Structure 1
Amino acid sequence: MKKMIFGIIGISAFLVSCGPKSTAVTGPKYTSSEQLAQGKTIFENSCNKCHGLPNPERHDDQGWIKTLSRMAPRAKLNDDQHQMVYDYLISVNKK
């Protein structure tokens, strides 16, 4: 019985750890030209490894939050990098 309980707890912990992470980005944070330039560099270097770079106008601000929440973990971006990429994208987005 103990094995079964510990097995269920272990499987539950594994499934929770593999689930979607909460987004680090909820809105704009960085506005300095240096941070936006870093966001552009991270965007160009990280996103371009797996696919072509999307047009920043592809999504509105909320759309980028959703897209980056899904893609930032795949690109292994930390929270600050995630935020800088988001802030760069919305700074050049005309939507």
Structure 2
Amino acid sequence: MKKLKTLAVMAMGIGLLVGCFPKASEVIRSLPVENKKQILAKYSPEQIETGETLFANNCAKCHKLKAAEGHTPEQWNSILKRMIPKAKLNDEDGQLVRAYIIVNAKQ
């Protein structure tokens, strides 16, 4: 009986932890890998600049900022799908950060 209670408490704890872990929204997860030309056609210079500010203000809270040129758009796409939810950015802000990063990524 004691083992059953212990297992039930552990299962509830694990369920709580998994439920609280930030997940990328469907919008962020579904974004295709875009190249610089596609991003520049989609976003204005002002939006790209806003993405840079959001990147600097949100990402540096938890770790040293990585240079956008350090990764390809494909690599950044994978990284950002994990990090945007952790930074608690909404879809619009997450897309602006992503636009800034891809425009400045290693080509």
**Which portions of structure 1, spanning 4 or more consecutive aligned residues, are displaced by more than 6 angstroms?**
none
Structure 1: gaps (5+ residues): 1-10
**TM-score, structure 2 length as denominator?**
0.65
The residue correspondences of 1:50-65 to structure 2 (distance < 5 A) are 50-65=62-77
Superposition RMSD in Å: 2.5
> If each structure's helix is expressed as a fraction of its own residues, which one has the higher value?
2
The residue correspondences of 1:1-95 to structure 2 (distance < 5 A) are 18=21, 20-21=23-24, 22=26, 23=29, 25-26=31-32, 27=34, 28=39, 30-95=42-107
Structure 2: gaps (5+ residues): 1-11
Q: Is the 8 A contact 1:25 1:82 kept in 2?
A: no
**Are the structure 2 counterparts of residues 52 and 17 from structure 1 closer, same or farther at C-alpha, using a change threshold of 3 Å?**
closer
2:5 matched residue in structure 1: none
Count of aligned pairs between the two proteins: 84
**Are the structure 2 counterparts of residues 24 and 57 from structure 1 closer, same or farther at C-alpha, using a change threshold of 3 Å?**
same
CA shift for structure 1 position 30: 3.8
**Are the structure 2 counterparts of residues 77 and 47 from structure 1 closer, same or farther at C-alpha, using a change threshold of 3 Å?**
same
Identity across matched positions, percent: 35
**Are the structure 2 counterparts of residues 81 and 25 from structure 1 closer, same or farther at C-alpha, using a change threshold of 3 Å?**
farther
